[in-house]
Amino acid sequence: MTSSAFDLFYLLFQQQPLTICLFSAAFFGALGSSFLYGYNLSVVNAPSLYIKAFYNKTWMERYGEPILPETSTLLWSITVSIFAIGGLLGTLSVSSIIKVAGRKGTLLLNNCFSLIAALLLSLGEISKSFEMLIIGRIIMGVNSGISLSALPMYLGEISPKHIRGSIGQFNSILICLGVFTGQVLGLPELLGQESRWNYLFTFLAFPSLLQLCVLPFLPESPRYLLMERRDEAGAERAFQRFLGKTDVSQELEEVHVEARARDSLNAVSVLELLRSPAVRWQLITIIITMACYQLCGLNAIWYYTNGILREAGLAENLLPYITLSTGATETLAAIISGLVIESIGRKPLLIFGFSSMAIFFSLLTVFLNFQDSASWMPYLSYICILAVIAGFCSGPGKTITSLQTKDILIGTTKGIVTAFFIYFPYISVFQTYIQVFLFLLFFYNDPSHFP
């Protein structure tokens, strides 16, 4: 990071200081939401062997015979993939919850899901019930689906325009920190042991409890108070606390303009929306951006990292520690992106991120084809992996994509286009669901697995 970038970041906050209230809302809101999502992405990797052994032991005690390999694979695949199904359910239900409970209220209520999930996942081994783990995973998925929809909305509505991108990056940064924390706690010296793996899930309760201790003392979204509750006095007080100034008439007027535009808007169908020249290019931009985000191939990186490291001749017991570098790279790239997003802009970061990913994916393909030609070739592949992760987190990451989408919307179509944007990415949930089970086709077509 150059000193000029820090200078630009400093000037942004000199224009209007970052208040403790706004920082607390962004940090603790993301801690009990985005952080948990990232943590759940990585927490099941380290104890996977121990969880499978627990499944086999429980099956043996129940039915008096070892679990079949295909049944064990099926149960583990369900445990991993059902998190995404829960995320879809949470996303589909969030709009109705937000209307009733508000943005902050939704985040607070959502902690019920994470606490219940933490209880089920932690006590599954003691209760000798692998069903508790599966149910806990789907409940945790519902929590993530709700939080990843409600949190960006809350942060976008409480932050001033000139630092909205930086505040919004709390979402991405805490996701990366969650992934990294899951990797660290999963080390054998900490909780990645057969006698401690259930404590990895107990940790889920702590971010939720911290959010429950802080968020109730912070204001609700001023936009929600004014547009949904018609509470202008409450909205004014909320703006004053978040922005740290007494004169918030300009901010209130902006919300009034948006409210009048929304009230005068006639309901249109998705088909009518697609036919409208006024929003056609907005939708095209959103669809292309989100399609590239979903299909950029980052999942392949997570699947093959350990395989490439093994090809490099690294000892198996060193892999968990080296894998930490991927989480650290992800976190660092997200932080740097948050520092420069307002000075550089959304579009250049997206172009840089996608371009760098394309370049290093191409190089990775070449290096993998020549993996055995030289002893140092796997290390080049590993460098490409880190570069792809950095490119993704510096630009195409979820928050920048959503921020750019909000920026290009016009007031009269913001609601329906935002809804279109929210649900489009979750079509990929079905891809996630299928790809986890796809290898079972090969499993069942291989006669060597059968007696």
- What's the whole-number average pLDDT of the chain? 79
Residue 418 counted as domain residue: no
Please say whether the beta carbons of 428 and 436 come within 8 A: no
Taking only the tens place, the pLDDT of each residue in 71-99 is 888 888 888 888 888 888 888 888 889 88
Please say whether the beta carbons of 108 and 216 come within 8 A: yes
Please say whether the beta carbons of 156 and 170 come within 8 A: no
CB atoms within 10 A of CB 95: 13
Torsion sign, CA atoms 191, 193, 198, 200: positive
Residue 88 counted as domain residue: yes
Q: What confidence category does residue 3 fall into, taking pLDDT thresholds of 50, 70 and 90?
A: very low
Torsion sign, CA atoms 95, 41, 407, 111: positive
Per-residue confidence (pLDDT) for residue 1, from 0 to 100: 45
CA angle, corner 383, sides to 378 and 387, nearest 5?
Answer: 145
Q: What confidence category does residue 442 fall into, taking pLDDT thresholds of 50, 70 and 90?
A: very low
Query: Which distant-in-sequence residues (6+ apart) come within 8 Å of 102 by Cβ?
Result: 220, 221, 224, 225, 228, 229
Q: How far apart are CA 264 and CA 253, in angstroms?
A: 17
| Average pLDDT, integer, range 350-374 | 86
Per-residue confidence (pLDDT) for residue 420, from 0 to 100: 54
Please say whether the beta carbons of 111 and 32 come within 8 A: yes
Closest CA to 286 of 298, 273, 297: 273
Taking only the tens place, the pLDDT of each residue in 41-63 is 888 888 888 888 999 999 998 88
Closest CA to 221 of 105, 100, 103: 103
- Higher per-residue confidence, 230 vs 418: 230
Please say whether the beta carbons of 100 and 174 come within 8 A: no
Taking only the tens place, the pLDDT of each residue in 269-289 is 556 666 777 667 777 777 777
Looking at residue 103, which CATH number applies to its domain?
1.20.1250.20
| Average pLDDT, integer, range 158-166 | 83
Is 90 exceeded by the pLDDT of residue 258? no
User: In whole angstroms, what separates CA 303 from the centre of its chain?
Assistant: 18
Closest CA to 333 of 388, 262, 268: 388
Residue 395 counted as domain residue: no
Token pair 């783990």 is found at 133
Taking only the tens place, the pLDDT of each residue in 112-152 is 999 999 999 999 989 889 899 999 999 999 999 899 889 98
Which tokens hold the place of 46? 């380290």
Residue 317 counted as domain residue: no
Count H helices and E strands in the chain, helices first.
21, 0
Per-residue confidence (pLDDT) for residue 267, from 0 to 100: 54
Q: How far apart are CA 404 and CA 419, in angstroms?
A: 15
Query: Which distant-in-sequence residues (6+ apart) come within 8 Å of 281 by Cβ?
Result: none
In order, the DSSP letters of 372-422 are TT-TTHHHHHHHHHHHHHHHHHHTTSHHHHHHHHHHH--GGGHHHHHHHHH
H or E element, residue 298:
helix 298-311
Could you tell me the pTM of the whole model?
A: 0.80
Query: Which distant-in-sequence residues (6+ apart) come within 8 Å of 9 by Cβ?
Result: 166, 339, 340, 342, 343
Residue 155 counted as domain residue: yes
**Full residue range of the structural domain in which residue 82 is found:** 19-218
Is 90 exceeded by the pLDDT of residue 424? no
Residue 361 counted as domain residue: no
Q: What confidence category does residue 317 fall into, taking pLDDT thresholds of 50, 70 and 90?
A: confident
Per-residue confidence (pLDDT) for residue 289, from 0 to 100: 78
Q: How far apart are CA 254 and CA 439, in angstroms?
A: 52
Q: How far apart are CA 141 and CA 148, in angstroms?
A: 11
Q: How far apart are CA 426 and CA 300, in angstroms?
A: 18
Domain total in the chain: 1
H or E element, residue 77:
helix 69-123
Helix (H, G, I), strand (E, B) or coil at 265: coil
Residue 136 counted as domain residue: yes
Query: Which distant-in-sequence residues (6+ apart) come within 8 Å of 143 by Cβ?
Result: 36, 86, 90, 110, 111, 113, 114, 117
Closest CA to 184 of 288, 307, 328: 328
Residue 252 counted as domain residue: no
Residue type, 136: G
